Amino acid sequence: MILENGIVRTMDASLPAARALAIAGGRIAGGVGVHETALASPEAVDLGGRCVLPGFNDSHVHFPTWALAQRQVRLEGTRTLDEALERVARAAGDVQPGRWLRGMGWRSGDWSPATEPTKEALDRVTGDVPAALMARDYHSLWLNSAALARADGDLQVEGGVVERNERGEPTGVLREECAWHFRDTHVRPTDDEMVEASREGMRLAVSRGVTAVHDKDGWLGALRVFQRLHDEGSLLLRVWQSIPHAQVAEAAALGVRSGFGDDLLRVGYLKAFMDGTLGSQTARMLDGSGVEITSRAELEEIIRRGAEAGLPVAVHAIGDLANRDALDAFEATREVWQALGLRPRIEHAQLLAAEDIGRFAALGVAASVQFSHAPSDRDLADRFWARKTDGAYAYRSLLDSGALLANGSDAPIEELDPWAGICAGVLRTIDDRPPWHPEQRLTLEEALIATTVNPAWLARDERRRGKLLPGYLADLVVLDRDPFELEAEELPSVQVVATMVGGRWVHNPAPWG
């Protein structure tokens, strides 16, 4: 197949742009020359002036959770508790007997008057239907009385918080480990539910130019879900899978090392958490506030055991102390993981002390960040991290220090939409307001590298993905215009036209009208 009459952005400095691209047997065959036109009957695709880029790789997705969230009550954008309750009330009638009412997306910091949700408020609109509503950052869970009754008082676990009222009763809000423990014990989706939702989610993701993801739902059984989709032929994109660090012994016993799998689905890395989040005010801070989920010493142990099993570690760290502890742990264990060529990463790296920024590059720890979080979180960050935001979402500073930046969405916290993320990285605003900390803006090329080249490197795929070079897998996206020809403000209007994975159109095959 030859894609011609457009602009091909290879993301490789040796030949950044080409007029055409030849594809043979699932791989890039090269630019178009004598060789390719001499083929018996190449299929020519007229790009009509459109732009071809390497397919987008979302470096941080909770894929089955995101796919399921497409079908749940969504509370994003609610401005009052009552508005949230109205949405829940509308959905409550549709819940089949015996099923849960599931929802997500609330953030009490967005509500005025300021208030925290309660089980009593929820009971009024749900009655006896058990309801579990996850906060937008996934670190708090809002339950009604019917839901709480399922736990029979068994709510408290280490590393978590059960909010209680003045009578000492649970208010209905659980945080951190308590929220996750409840969800995993009582509200866990079945594999069938996840497969069904993810099958549809695949189609939605590729329609947005996604050709690969680094999934974070290993704890939920995502590997089983993706394997079932793979078997039935509906795994449309490539997956680099996390597994929970607590399962490192099982992986080691089986001999499953990083990279095990095939071209589409591979086991990647261990996932761990240092702290909570900005929105729940549980990020672990140098000022002493926040929640510690994993200590520095515990992370060292996780890294060592991961290295023995041949698995790198990706660790969630939001607060400045959580990030420092994580960096300290990677530094203390560097002989172990560096010798094996493992590629560790800190997920989010949201707030960094000035003296820690340069340590990512110095150690060789990647910063797996989410460009769209900066403009989405700006109001909360200005409030909760007042006078500290110089080191918040500091993508430019990280890049200038030599750190490897990989961009993701953290879907369903943000939408799984890489182009929106790229625009957020370049513009640092998603509304009419001026950019937030404009000194941290990235160029379009830098934002694209973080969404194509660098995620492929993290998955050890740098010699076969992330660029449009001869011999590389033909994973690409066709955009309606060449974004490099546009003013930054115009970038959000660019549309994904078509997506190809391994030489096969997975979204909107050519020709295009």
Hey, what amino acid is at 336?
A: V
Residue 110 token pair: 């967005």
Strands 170-176 and 160-164: antiparallel
Please, what is the minimum distance in Å from the beta carbon of residue 409 to Zn ion? Answer: 9
CB atoms < 10 A from the CB of 261, how many?
19
Say whether residue 58 binds Zn ion (CB under 5 A): no
Please, what is the minimum distance in Å from the beta carbon of residue 348 to Zn ion? Answer: 8
CB-nearest residue to Zn ion: 410
Per-residue contact string for residues 357-396; x = within reach of Zn ion by CB under 5 A: ----------------------------------------
CB atoms < 10 A from the CB of 449, how many?
23
Q: Which is nearer to Zn ion, 63 or 226 (CB)?
A: 63
Q: Which of 410, 415, 417, 446 binds Zn ion (CB under 5 A)?
A: 410
Q: Which is nearer to Zn ion, 318 or 423 (CB)?
A: 318
Binding residues for Zn ion restricted to 159-218, rule: CB under 5 A: 216
Question: Which residues, 6+ apart, have CB-to-CB distance to 336 below 8 Å?
Answer: 303, 304, 307
Binding residues for Zn ion restricted to 442-481, rule: CB under 5 A: none
Please, what is the minimum distance in Å from the beta carbon of residue 4 to Zn ion? Answer: 40
Please, what is the minimum distance in Å from the beta carbon of residue 316 to Zn ion? Answer: 7
Q: Which is nearer to Zn ion, 356 or 410 (CB)?
A: 410
Q: How far apart are the C-alpha atoms of 389 and 370, rounded to whole Å?
A: 16
What does DSSP assign to residue 462?
A: T
Please, what is the minimum distance in Å from the beta carbon of residue 347 to Zn ion? Answer: 7
Q: Which is nearer to Zn ion, 11 or 220 (CB)?
A: 220
Residue of 41, 59, 38 whose CA lies nearest to 314: 59
Q: Which is nearer to Zn ion, 62 or 324 (CB)?
A: 62
Q: Which is nearer to Zn ion, 221 or 310 (CB)?
A: 221
Q: How far apart are the C-alpha atoms of 292 and 301, rounded to whole Å?
A: 16
Please, what is the minimum distance in Å from the beta carbon of residue 412 to Zn ion? Answer: 9
Q: Binding segment for Zn ion among 268-276, 299-307, 404-412, 436-444 (CB under 5 A)? A: 404-412
Question: Which residues, 6+ apart, have CB-to-CB distance to 126 below 8 Å?
Answer: 88, 89, 92, 101, 144, 146
Q: Which is nearer to Zn ion, 63 or 436 (CB)?
A: 63
Positions of E strands within 349-475: 366-369, 405-407
Q: Which is nearer to Zn ion, 125 or 369 (CB)?
A: 369
Residue of 127, 134, 125, 138 whose CA lies nearest to 82: 125
Please, what is the minimum distance in Å from the beta carbon of residue 69 to Zn ion? Answer: 13
Q: How far apart are the C-alpha atoms of 457 and 465, rounded to whole Å?
A: 8
Q: Which is nearer to Zn ion, 216 or 238 (CB)?
A: 216
Q: Binding segment for Zn ion among 5-13, 250-258, 286-294, 407-415 (CB under 5 A)? A: 407-415
Hey, what amino acid is at 157?
A: V
Determine the size of the site formed for Zn ion (CB under 5 A): 2
What does DSSP assign to residue 246?
A: G
Q: How far is CA 76 from CA 92, 109, 352, 371, in A?
A: 17, 12, 27, 19
Query: Which residues pair with residue 499 across a beta bridge?
Result: 477, 507
Q: Binding segment for Zn ion among 91-99, 384-392, 406-414, 470-478 (CB under 5 A)? A: 406-414
What does DSSP assign to residue 42?
A: P
Binding residues for Zn ion restricted to 209-228, rule: CB under 5 A: 216
Per CB under 5 A, residues contacting Zn ion are: 216, 410
